[in-house]
A and B are shown apart, each in its own frame.
Chain A
């Protein structure tokens, strides 16, 4: 094999490795990274994950649901972030497109904060973030239909 061919081979292998590594890194989806992406709140990896569902389909539809269990200091820290980001107080006053969150909290829960944001024109596409102080849980739910 000529020197030129060897160089091309090495270069090709390097490019493939770089592309594969990029795809791998971009495909990594941790609950902490996603929660930070959606809320803008720094989520310590010491916080316990109670539930994490992240299902996406090839046509772009899907949903992410993350539930964190908080101890007292974590609760206080996230509460400060919610207040600084001007979250609304519970209970949820917005008309939600579906009842997903009410599998976890009661409609009447009134101790805590929430943030609701509709995405695009489809009213079923939305982000909902809830800090429920009664259960010391932090919920992040994002859905696209």
Chain B
């Protein structure tokens, strides 16, 4: 193992309301392990973001419930940036109101669910389209919360179109175009509960249908119809519903 060298470490609160432990830039020899650790007594959980020179920005989904996070990476290149965030959230979902936007602290769930992001998640769904035989794809609660946070960050909710379902439950259309999920979803529907004591929202459900159905030319925009028809031609699969629960 090689420890590498830190070139910068920052701090402060990031836009998600999480404590930004800092950016750590590791440099080391190619094709070797990088080992490092971070500790901060004010947080009890960590999530991270990894960027390397070979791929798009990618969050890694390692979560630790310790006051110290240790991590290992296989270095395939020359630079690895690791952005560590931590939070003191309890295992019960909390909502952070940051600058008028409500983000959820994503708790560490014991269900062993792991998250893939961006193009990787889209490839998972594409594979499910080809092999899932039309069976519903049920996302995890962590995924639900992550989608919610992504939509909040990307201004993807049409709050003015929210429809009351009774008992402080609402259904709202959303788009995920300005988020990491734009390869996976365009528009979708989410249900949420509004806590009457503080007005904060907790997502409770998600629904979308993944399909590649062509429409008559002119119905969609030309690029949208062209891309839809291309994938309909390229992929052989069955439409399926993505939902929670």
Contact = CB atoms under 8 A, between A and B. Distances in A.
B187 A63 contact: yes
B54 interface: no
Nearest to A61: B186
B182 to A, nearest CB: 7
Given A23-B222, A60-B224, A61-B175, A145 B187 contact: yes
Interface stretch (B30-38, B89-97, B101-109, B208-216): B208-216
Nearest to A23: B222
Contacts of B175: 55, 57, 61
A59 B186 contact: yes
Contacts, number: 89
- Max chain B Cβ within 10 angstroms of own Cβ: one of A60, A103, A122: A60
Contact of B223 (A56, A100, A122, A143): A56
A39 B215 CA distance: 16
- Max chain B Cβ within 10 angstroms of own Cβ: one of A27, A37, A55, A99: A99
A66 to B, nearest CB: 13
B204 interface: no
Given A59-B228, A60-B220, A60-B227, A145 B161 contact: no
A26 B220 contact: no
Chain B, interface size category, equals 20 to 34
Given A122-B209, A122-B211, A142-B219, A62 B173 contact: no
A28 to B, nearest CB: 9
Contact of A37 (B173, B183, B219, B222): B219
Interface string A50-72: 00001111111111000000000
A98 B158 CA distance: 11
- Max chain B Cβ within 10 angstroms of own Cβ: one of A29, A55, A59, A142: A59
Given A63-B187, A98-B173, A99-B161, A56 B221 contact: yes
Given A122-B211, A145-B208, A57 B224 contact: yes
Given A121-B209, A122-B211, A61 B222 contact: no
B228 A60 contact: yes
Given A29-B221, A57-B177, A57-B224, 15 more contacts: A26-B217, A29-B218, A56-B224, A58-B182, A60-B212, A60-B220, A60-B224, A61-B185, A61-B224, A63-B187, A98-B171, A121-B209, A122-B209, A145-B189, A145-B208
